[in-house]
Amino acid sequence: MRRKLAAAKAGVAALLSFFVVSGAIAQDGSLPTRVPSGTKIVLADDANNAASLLKLSGEYDKLAADVGFANFTSGPLRLEAIRAGAAQVGAVGDVPPILAHFSNADVVIVGVVVTEGPTTIIATAPDSGINELKDLRGKKVGVNPGTAQQAIVFRDLKAAGLKPDDIKPINLGLAEFADALRSGQIDAAVLKQPDRARYLKSVAGTGAKEIDNGGEANKNLKILYASKIALDDPAQAAAIRDLVVHWYRASLWKNDHQDVWKAEYLIKDQRLSSEDADSVVKTEKRSYIPDWKSETIPRQQETIDILQAAGSFKGKTLKAEDEFDLRFDGLSNKSKTAAELHAGG
């Protein structure tokens, strides 16, 4: 009996050893870490932002997988790309994961970065008469359901003592906001950078302006979320884990390399003038990796509650924690990449 028990223990130990070496059981809460040669994933990007961060920081060349990029103008469109299998990861704000959760899209958050500063705030149409948030009462406000901009509008209304019913929401695509403002189709809309800098330059001298957010209407969460189908595949899950660590490193790299970001991304890639690029840089302060349990998840639950109180995502109880793959909790720029974990091959 003792011999059989010893043999069984030895067998279990050997099996566990095999799984650890093969990557089936890995660090960070069972996340695979070994990325097989030839593994490919696609990231649904926003205006080349994630791609530029990775490439300019030098992190792209260190990725263990072959990572491609495809640009989409809004979070809901990036979600559709993931649903269709055209991408495995998406770069979004805080509301698209709520939309994914509500619609049972099987897409979960794997990485979060906060960038401080007024990067995404309300801009007004020429001669709108809007000088502060309370002036939004009775105005036509551009809204794109399922986006971070939608949540910012509702938070700003709350900060000004207004309710969603106090405005006239006009549903538009994010790419339509600037033209709608110029033409007077809407009186205000939330614009992110560098779109806001471009718009305000195009209407200089007309009375169009930007309105600061009320309180913490925008935490400017930059989120990576991924398909559960991809995360169920050990090779793609390991590639996504590796991507998240490199993305964290690239995001923090920007803190000390704003000059490179301005010249190569804002001016060269996004075609802003040097003056407009400077205005963007001034609004983007320090980026940091937030703690999920104490900061990100409670903030996400608050956003869910605000949106549901305003009539969005009706008929379903949404728990923010369900939007996160908690195996990625605790990863940071200091976590080891796939190459660092498996330097011996």
Q: Tell me how far apart the terminal alpha carbons of the chain are, to the nearest angstrom.
A: 40
Residue in 259, 254, 337, 260 with CA at minimum distance from that of residue 288: 254
Q: Residue 262 belongs to a domain with what CATH number?
A: 3.40.190.10
In this structure, are residues 68 and 38 in contact, taking their beta carbons and an 8 Å threshold?
A: no
Per-residue pLDDT tens listing for the chain (345 residues): 444 434 443 443 433 333 333 333 334 458 999 999 999 999 999 999 999 999 999 999 999 999 999 999 888 899 999 999 999 999 998 888 999 999 999 999 999 999 988 778 899 999 999 999 999 999 999 998 878 888 889 989 988 999 999 999 999 988 899 999 999 999 999 998 888 888 998 999 999 999 988 876 677 889 999 999 999 999 999 999 999 999 999 999 999 999 999 999 999 999 989 988 998 898 888 999 999 999 999 999 999 998 898 888 988 999 999 999 999 999 999 999 999 999 876
320 within some domain: yes
- 272 shares its domain with 133: no
Domain endpoint, select from 177, 211, 245:
211
Residue in 95, 76, 78 with CA at minimum distance from that of residue 87: 78
- 229 shares its domain with 289: yes
The one-letter amino acid at 153: V
337 within some domain: no
Q: Which two tokens stand for residue 304?
A: 């869910």
- 90 shares its domain with 202: no
- Dihedral angle sign, alpha carbons of residues 51, 57, 58, 59: negative
- 180 shares its domain with 104: no
The residue range of the domain holding 104 is 27-116+220-332
- 227 shares its domain with 314: yes
- 142 shares its domain with 69: no
14 within some domain: no
The one-letter amino acid at 298: P
- 187 shares its domain with 315: no
202 within some domain: yes
Domain endpoint, select from 176, 191, 211:
211
2 within some domain: no
- 78 shares its domain with 176: no
- 198 shares its domain with 127: yes
- 206 shares its domain with 225: no
17 within some domain: no
Edge-first strand listing for the sheet containing 210-211: 168-171, 140-143, 188-192, 120-124, 210-211
pLDDT given at position 2: 41
pLDDT given at position 25: 33
- 196 shares its domain with 259: no
Decide the pairing of beta strands 221-227 and 188-192. unpaired
225 within some domain: yes
For the chain, what percentages of helix, strand and coil (3-state, to nearest 5) are there? Answer: 50, 15, 35
Domain endpoint, select from 211, 241, 269:
211
- 110 shares its domain with 73: yes
| pTM for the model | 0.81
Number of domains observed in the structure of the chain: 2
- At 7 the three-state DSSP class reads helix
- At 255 the three-state DSSP class reads helix
pLDDT given at position 276: 87
pLDDT given at position 29: 55
36 within some domain: yes
pLDDT given at position 8: 41
| Cα–chain center distance at 223 | 3
